[in-house]
Amino acid sequence: MSPCRRSPQRGFSLIVVLLLLVVSTVLGVAAAQVSLVTERSARNDRDTEVAFQAAEAALVDAETDVLGPNEDARQRLCLFSRRDVTAFVEGCGGAGDRQGLCAPVEPGAEPAWSTADLSAAGGKSVAYGSFTGQTYFSGNAATGRRAGALPARAPRYIVEAVRSRGGWQADMLQSASAEGASYMFRVTAVGYGMREETQVVLQTTLYKPAASPGCPS
């Protein structure tokens, strides 16, 4: 009786298994990368939203600073007059109660907000609550103290006097003479995200039709 002969092993099943393993690995790596990108995108969106809300809060704080009512001991409502902007400093370099006040520029010149240093280190912008007594909870980027989902630092703003070429009503025009000049106030605010490098800048223009109570008209 002749012995049985076995067919030679060609390893075809092993090749198939290895191919399936490679495909599974590639799909797993791709899924992990997609998950990481999605998570990073969601984190960036949240960071931007935190910065946006902080910038909006700074605009509201500036509105209280300019228009009132403001009962804080450091309030400076009388500096915001639509007829007298002598308190506003060229280059936004004022100190004390003139901090963050930017003098008007000549027509056609680059606006003050585009060149002003809004950072805390610059000392030319106003931190939230400086003249209103309000508090905005945040971390402290200077010391590295973090505050969870709150901004890395408090938002800041500057106020720029802008020559009004017309009244706040569309059908009213004003005198073109220097004596009859009237001004509005353009606020530029910067808000920070949980990471200080995430920043959102917002602007609004405020019109103050009359002097605040107790101030010269």
- Structure confidence by residue, pLDDT tens digits, 130-148: 999 999 988 875 555 666 7
Which of the residue ranges 29-33, 160-164, 166-170 would you say has the lowest mean pLDDT?
Answer: 166-170
Query: How would you class 3 by CB atoms within 10 Å of its CB: exposed for 0-12, middle for 13-18, buried for 19 or more?
Result: exposed
- At CA 150, angle to CA 146 and CA 153, rounded to 5? 65
Tell how far CA 122 is from the center of its chain. Answer: 16
Pure H helices in the chain: 12-67, 112-115
For residues 169 and 190, which has the higher predicted lDDT (pLDDT)? 190
CA-closest candidate to residue 165, choices 84, 107, 114, 78: 107
Alpha-carbon span 123 to 127, nearest angstrom: 9
Q: Tell me the pTM.
A: 0.77
39: helix, coil or strand?
helix
Alpha-carbon span 165 to 118, nearest angstrom: 27
Confidence bin at 68 (pLDDT 50/70/90): very high
What local confidence, expressed as pLDDT, does residue 188 receive? 97
Average pLDDT, the chain: 84
CA-closest candidate to residue 85, choices 196, 178, 188: 178
Mean pLDDT calculated for residue range 96-113: 90
Q: Are 216 and 80 in contact (CB under 8 A)?
A: no
